[in-house]
């Protein structure tokens, strides 16, 4: 299994999960053209796309979902609440996801994990192929033990580290937006992300972490990784992470399960 971040952040989120014979797109928050270009760059034929999994209905996760589903004749998978909010035309096939109920798509098991966010029925997504497991959790105001449990066997954990709390307060965002972002149904800050990673390290499993959905104004890759590593050091948990990578907005980051420690990053030419 290979996991590729195609885009991350409030300007668009999309993650490709490649199995042995097919691929899944988790969120499609960038243009159809960008998705096609970026997946083609990876050498993955779009015809192997088996479905599009949508975590929730916010614009930065759904931009090209319907267009791609239509073009490649694949279903959209999402919770009942998300599907209802999306109001997809009836000629697009949709498959409802039930919280904590695994579903096999091609050779990839996906399990939706409920999260706290200001959307209809938002989910984090756990993906598994044989013994390899990744969890993708963005857009959540707080984390809970349900998400911790989902990460027990995860080799790769993608966790939101949206903002540095101090920077958010000093940012130019409107007061109501700052409150929304910092709320329990908003976005995780760097410290919360660090505490989550420290918590999942309790089982002493060594793994990889990606820091996702970084705010352009209220965070930076350097700041996110510094804050997260400080929290992990305070909890003697840093050694359980082989790599910790802040995801760039518009560059691919590739995690390959073959070695379970390989990771590469290359510039997007868009
Ligand atoms: Zn988002
Ligand atoms: Zn959202």
Write out the residues surrounding ion ligand 2, Cβ under 5 A.
Answer: 58, 139
Tell me how far the alpha carbon of residue 118 lies from the centroid of ligand 2, in angstroms: 7
Residue 27: left (phi > 0), alpha (psi -120 to 50), or beta? left
Q: Which of 255, 161, 147, 266 is nearest to 207 (CA)?
A: 255
Closest ligand to the CA of 57: 2
Mean pLDDT of the chain: 95
Closest ligand to the CA of 60: 1
Separation of CA 162 from chain center: 12
**pTM as predicted:** 0.95
Residue in this structure with the two tokens 């991350």, named with its chain if needed: 8
Closest ligand to the CA of 180: 2
Q: How confident is the model at residue 106 (pLDDT cuts 50, 70, 90)?
A: very high
Calculate helix-pair angle for 221-234, 190-200, nearest 10 degrees. 40
Query: Tokens standing for 185?
Result: 């149904």
**Which tens digit of pLDDT belongs to each residue from 36-69?**
999 999 999 999 999 999 999 999 999 999 999 9
Measured CA to CA, the distance from residue 29 to residue 25 in angstroms comes to 10
Tell me how far the alpha carbon of residue 210 lies from the centroid of ligand 2, in angstroms: 18
Tell me how far the alpha carbon of residue 117 lies from the centroid of ligand 2, in angstroms: 7
Which residue ranges form the domains of the chain, and what is each CATH number?
Answer: 2-266 (3.60.15.10)
Residue in this structure with the two tokens 């499993």, named with its chain if needed: 205
Tell me how far the alpha carbon of residue 20 lies from the centroid of ligand 1, in angstroms: 28
Tell me how far the alpha carbon of residue 77 lies from the centroid of ligand 2, in angstroms: 17
**Which tens digit of pLDDT belongs to each residue from 168-193?**
999 999 999 999 999 999 999 999 99
Residue in this structure with the two tokens 């700041």, named with its chain if needed: 223
Residues in contact with 130: Cβ distance below 8 Å, sequence separation at least 6, in sequence order: 1
What is the phi/psi pair of residue 195, to 5°? -65, -35
The DSSP code for 263 is E
Closest ligand to the CA of 116: 2
Measured CA to CA, the distance from residue 107 to residue 117 in angstroms comes to 29
């Amino acid at each position: 299994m290979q996991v590729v971040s195609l885009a991350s952040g409030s300007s668009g989120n999309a993650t490709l999960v490649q199995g042995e014979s097919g691929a899944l797109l988790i969120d499609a928050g960038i243009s159809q053209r960008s998705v096609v270009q970026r997946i083609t760059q990876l050498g993955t034929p779009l015809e192997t796309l088996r479905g599009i999994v949508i975590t929730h209905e916010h614009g930065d996760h759904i931009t090209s979902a319907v267009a791609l589903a239509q073009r490649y004749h694949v279903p959209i998978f999402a919770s009942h609440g998300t599907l209802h909010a999306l109001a997809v035309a009836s000629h697009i096939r949709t498959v409802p996801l039930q919280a904590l109920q695994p579903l096999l798509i091609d050779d990839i098991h996906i399990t939706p994990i409920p999260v706290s966010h200001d959307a209809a029925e938002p989910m984090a997504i756990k993906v598994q192929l044989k013994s390899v497991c990744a969890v993708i959790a963005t857009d959540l105001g707080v984390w809970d033990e349900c998400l911790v449990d989902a990460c027990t066997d995860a080799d790769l954990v993608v966790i939101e580290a949206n903002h540095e709390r101090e920077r958010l307060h000093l940012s130019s965002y409107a007061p109501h937006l700052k409150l929304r972002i910092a709320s329990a149904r908003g976005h995780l800050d760097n410290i919360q992300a660090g505490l989550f990673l420290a918590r999942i390290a309790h089982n002493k499993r060594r793994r990889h972490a990606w820091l996702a959905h970084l705010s352009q104004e209220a965070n930076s890759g350097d700041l996110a990784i510094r804050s997260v590593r400080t929290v992990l050091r305070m909890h003697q948990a840093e050694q359980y992470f082989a790599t910790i990578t802040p995801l760039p907005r518009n560059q691919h980051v590739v995690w390959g399960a073959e070695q379970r420690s390989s990771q590469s990053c290359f510039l997007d030419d868009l």
